[in-house]
Amino acid sequence: MKMKIGKKMISNWYKTEDYERSQNFNFITKLLHQTRYRNLNKLITQASIEKNGKLKIVDVGCGRASSYKNIKQLGITFDYIGIELKKEFYDSANDSFKQYENFKIICDSIENHFDKFADADVIIGLESFEHIPESLVVRTIEAISKVSFMYLYITVPNEVGPAILIKNIGSALMGYKRYKEYEWRETFFASIYELDKVRRHDRGHRGFDWRWLAQTLRQNTTILKKTSSPANFIPKFISPSIGFICVKSD
């Protein structure tokens, strides 16, 4: 069975309203999306204790700045800079949080703002690096590796191995449209790691391989921990998303 999706539907998938609905589609999607924020809150709390002072947090591809909202509830002292390319996400986040002095958001590509990493304590990119061109991802991680950050936390979807088969079949059964980015043959080949038979990754989910990101991080930072969803004991090959908690290499 071959399923296709038009450009209009792909575009709508990334619009602000659709993005929010997708994360809160049902109990399962809520649980999976909340996992990264639970991990983030633990990491930020730990960093705040270690520094014993105000944190500077830089959020790459911040979307609607949900991370800011979560961190704000922790009651710690911090300054936040979000960098978001999509104007509709930028506008939504700015409307929600511009009244707070510790909130700043920039509507631009991260490649123009590597200087914001200079004195950052915690740098995050939650479900955003798969939407950035690979060459820019490499340059971004290289730029981060040159500054004295405390922690780097990145999460990305798992689009290879048994995980993608489970996700896309489950999505189809639930009526959750993320599976429509794939043809069914592509879901099968991605599930057996035959990505040469899947259309090339192009800033969406289809064709993204988290393993090259892991290697890029390994070459430029020290990976302290890899996280799984919805709990860290889940094996990586069936985890819907993969997270990396990194520190600066010696």
The count of C-alpha atoms lying within 13 angstroms of the C-alpha of 159, restricted to the half-sphere facing its C-beta, is 26
Both tokens of residue 113? Answer: 């703002």
Q: What is the pTM of this model?
A: 0.88
Per-residue pLDDT of the chain (250 residues; tens, 9 = 90+): 333 333 333 334 344 445 555 555 454 555 666 889 999 999 999 999 999 999 999 999 999 999 999 999 999 999 999 999 999 999 999 999 999 999 999 999 999 999 999 999 999 999 999 999 999 999 999 999 999 999 999 999 999 999 999 999 998 998 878 889 999 999 999 999 999 999 999 989 999 999 999 999 999 999 999 999 998 899 999 999 999 999 999 8
Extents of the domains making up the chain: 13-159+203-242
CATH for 13-159+203-242, options being 3.40.50.300, 3.40.50.720, 3.40.50.10320, 3.40.50.150: 3.40.50.150
Q: Quote the CA–CA distance of 23 and 42 in Å, as a whole number.
A: 21
Q: What is the CA radius of gyration of the chain?
A: 18
Cβ atoms of residues 159 and 182 within 8 Å? no
Both tokens of residue 63? Answer: 């979307």
pLDDT attached to residue 247: 98
